[in-house]
Structure 1
């Protein structure tokens, strides 16, 4: 019955599942993988190489939305999926909106700056991994950086397009929260968790579990500062619901 979360500590999609597991009060073990070395290990058990992957009782579930649905089915206490059909559908729609319009764009926009700062980003990748992880990543970083930029399309005009998509998504969420305290139903749900966790790298909450720097490199930090007011509701979710 052991639960293992295969993850990258830096990944906001993995943080989404760490939060879900903690919210439900479940015991689990983290299995931190090094970028690049995770490909074969993940493809041996799931269709794609991406994390998060939840391992439970001999089964593997891949993808943050699928994992939350699995957890709510297997461990129904403290559900993240609303029971009422209308609220459930609304929560799933908002979660999909965040997964599509925030998740990949935060990743691309942040890495566009962070990959130029290996001394900062390598400890993110290596945190909680093998003792030789940092040295290994420094050795392969030029190749890893190229692979990441190609795979995630971290180049112009895609980076600028991601910035615009992010700004629009943040404003859409801000307007929604201006009308009600939660995105779906009358309580915190997977929709709110998705929004806050996927935006978390922009405001660096301590509950994320990563050893954040005091500030991000420029020009990333200036853009984050410009979004500070709109990001405040998501910081509040961390304070109120991320123990």
Structure 2
């Protein structure tokens, strides 16, 4: 197979790409990387160090929204992008909104509490990795945690700020879905996919590819419970289109 997705199984930005490729019925191989150790691989194959990175017949594409553009251009069946130029721009606006106002903040909000529970978060990091990865992360987690917190500005103040941002975004999207079935146009598309994928760590849907814990950290669960009604539309979209 000539199509390989380099990713973190836990990454909701990687889930955007996994979902898009599955939606289009494309075959691909997953190459699961380990946080921190991934740099040894990504620096060799791409301009930036982050994932997702798609290698397709020797072509390298990085960044989830760029990959979605590429997939619709090269594999136009079951398009995720509207053909109408005005609707296309609207879809890109919603995708960018979700990437910035949801994706970054869900990551920081969730990690702030998950990093305090190594038994929960280490399996997320190591799922699908080499046999030695659980032991490695158990031994060196005390070094990884402060690095992650520093790089992503993860602390109590940041988590509180992100919680407010996520709430505002959920309220905005809920109001939109109260008025229409999909965010843009009359069919499921990249805007809906992005919103759902980036909120997935909160709703823990089937199809994401992770073995979700039976119990979330209390703070995260309280936030989800408070927004249960508003999150139902995203669960429905996952159930119907994922």
How would you bin the TM-score normalised by the shorter chain? over 0.9
Cα pair 2:2 2:58 within 8 Å, conserved: no
Aligned 1:81-160 pairs, distance under 5 A: 81-160=81-160
Q: Work out the CA distance in 2 between the residues paired with 1:67 and 1:139.
A: 35
**3-state SS in 1 of match to 2:55:** strand
**3-state SS in 2 of match to 1:166:** helix
Residue 218 of structure 1: CA displacement?
1.4
Match of 1:238 in 2: 238
| Structure 2, unpaired ranges of 5+ | none
Aligned pairs, number = 242
**3-state SS in 1 of match to 2:218:** coil
Match of 1:212 in 2: 212
**3-state SS in 2 of match to 1:207:** coil
Match of 1:162 in 2: 162
Q: Work out the CA distance in 2 between the residues paired with 1:156 and 1:48.
A: 29
Residue 157 of structure 1: CA displacement?
1.9
Aligned 1:70-81 pairs, distance under 5 A: 70-81=70-81
Of stretches 19-28 and 1-10 in structure 1, the one that deviates more from structure 2 is 1-10
**3-state SS in 2 of match to 1:9:** coil
Match of 1:18 in 2: 18
Q: Work out the CA distance in 2 between the residues paired with 1:179 and 1:206.
A: 26
Cα deviation, 1:67-118, whole Å, max 9, x if unaligned, reads: 0000111111001111011111110000000000000100000000000010
Q: Work out the CA distance in 1 between the residues paired with 2:209 and 2:158.
A: 29
Q: Work out the CA distance in 2 between the residues paired with 1:158 and 1:125.
A: 22
**3-state SS in 2 of match to 1:148:** helix
Q: Work out the CA distance in 1 between the residues paired with 2:121 and 2:183.
A: 33
| Structure 1, unpaired ranges of 5+ | none
TM-score by length of 2: 0.98
**3-state SS in 2 of match to 1:44:** helix
Residue 156 of structure 1: CA displacement?
3.2
